[in-house]
Amino acid sequence: MEKSEIKGFIAKRCAKELKDGDVVNLGIGLPTLIPNYLPEGVEVIIHAELGIVSAGVSPKEGDANYDPYHVVDAGGSPSSVAFGGGFIDSATNFGLIRGGHVDACFLGALEVDAKGNLANWIIPGKKMPGMGGAMDLCAGVKKIVVATDHCEKSGSSKIMKKCTLPLTGAKCVTDIVTERCYFQVTPNGLVLKELAPGYTVEDIRACTEADFTVAEDLGVME
């Protein structure tokens, strides 16, 4: 897989976790690509932290709805509003999250571990964007999917036995999607459910610090 294809591959697999009618929050970066890969027949309401309810696909420069100064996603990139969508204030926005009205959320990770703990907001001593609304999402959303590269640029695994960085949320992650595989987080630990084309179980064990079991119905990511 070419490096330029990785984000799209992960986003496409993440989109398969959504059901028709879900209210969904997308973190910054890779998760904002997910609306471009929704399966046929699945319509979702995308909730954006900046106050859009029912955000649309990411517009390109020259599109009629391209407005990079007024309509943006949580990462500051151009966004759009789907037909019937609208804007809400910050208090109402976080009320939706804290009240349990968001069905699924997709977040990036610095580290995620076998118990479903997530660290994605700070590396001590380095300047980072900060927590944002991630803490609220981890506490209030039913399904938390981590969408991330499997390893750091150094080659070290992001999928740990135990997170070493300050946590964003404890025991909140339900699923992990990388360019190499798909894990489900269960009370008994990680279960390898799917492999990306070209990877074997042995490959995943070699690049994953956390222990995991292999599903009997192990499939292929698409």
pLDDT of residue 68: 79
Query: DSSP code of 44?
Result: -
The verdict on whether 17 is a catalytic residue reads: no
* Run of H or E including 106: strand 104-107
Q: Please tell me the distance from the alpha carbon of residue 101 to that of residue 60, in angstroms, as a whole number.
A: 30
pLDDT of residue 217: 97
* Residue-range domain boundaries for the chain: 3-220
* Burial environment of residue 61 by CB neighbours within 10 A (0 to 12, 13 to 18, 19 or more): exposed
pLDDT of residue 52: 85
**153-181: burial string, b at 16+ Cβ within 10 Å, e else:** eeeeebbbeebebebbbeebbbbbbbbbb
pLDDT of residue 155: 95
pLDDT of residue 78: 83
pLDDT of residue 118: 98
Q: Position 53: which residue type?
A: V
pLDDT of residue 112: 98
Of 1.10.760.10, 3.40.640.10, 3.40.1080.10, 3.40.1360.10, the CATH number of 3-220 is 3.40.1080.10
Local structure of 18: helix, strand or coil: coil
Query: Residue ranges of the chain with pLDDT lower than 50?
Result: none
Q: Please tell me the distance from the alpha carbon of residue 167 to that of residue 216, in angstroms, as a whole number.
A: 32
Query: Pick the catalytic residue: 2, 5, 49, 179?
Result: 49
Q: Please tell me the distance from the alpha carbon of residue 190 to that of residue 177, in angstroms, as a whole number.
A: 12
30-89 pLDDT, tens digit per residue, is 888 898 899 999 999 998 877 888 887 778 888 888 887 778 776 677 888 888 888 999
Q: Which pTM does this prediction carry? A: 0.91
